[in-house]
Amino acid sequence: MSRMIVNQIKDKENVILAGDTNVLPNTETINNLEKYLKNVFKDELTTTFNMKIKTPFVKEAHYFSEEHLKGFAKAVVDMIFVSPNLKVVEHYQPKVDVSDHYPLAIVLEV
């Protein structure tokens, strides 16, 4: 999938790619994207899951175990990538209870 994304963005100037990748940061998939885009939160986050909401869901789901819960607490799967020419002036992860994932926010200079 990352190769398909790279083929679409590699010749574009102003790219913002964001979302729940469902992969961890230190994977071939993310490395492929980082060849063309800057990973805004690279190595800054411990998790992108809101464990306050995630914990009850995981405990109620029959297909998850306590080990899964520990994994979510250390998983960064939500990411924002930008073209190298775009200037990120601020980025942050608001701790708000709107989802089982925390949102990520960036401010760009235009």
Sole residue written with tokens 């979510």? 72
Q: What is the pLDDT of residue 11?
A: 92
Q: What burial class does residue 23 get, using C-beta atoms within 10 Å of its C-beta: 0-12 exposed, 13-18 middle, 19+ buried?
A: middle
The verdict on domain 2-109 having CATH code 3.40.50.300 is: no
Q: What is the mean pLDDT of each run of 10 residues along the chain (110 residues)?
A: 94 96 95 97 96 89 84 94 97 95 96
Domain boundaries defined on the chain: 2-109
Q: What is the pLDDT of residue 47?
A: 95
How far apart, in Å, are the Cα atoms of 3 and each of 17, 26, 87, 104?
Answer: 14, 16, 25, 24
d(CA 73, CA 97): 15
Task: Calculate what percentage of the chain has a pLDDT beyond 90.
Answer: 79
Q: What is the pLDDT of residue 57?
A: 84
Q: What is the pLDDT of residue 62?
A: 80
What predicted TM-score, i.e. pTM, was given to this entire model? 0.92
Q: Which of 75, 67, 23, 102 is nearest to 1 (CA)?
A: 23
Q: What is the pLDDT of residue 68?
A: 83
- pLDDT per position as a tens digit, 17-34: 999 999 999 999 999 999
Q: Which of 90, 82, 93 is nearest to 106 (CA)?
A: 90
Q: What is the pLDDT of residue 26?
A: 94
Q: What is the pLDDT of residue 59?
A: 87
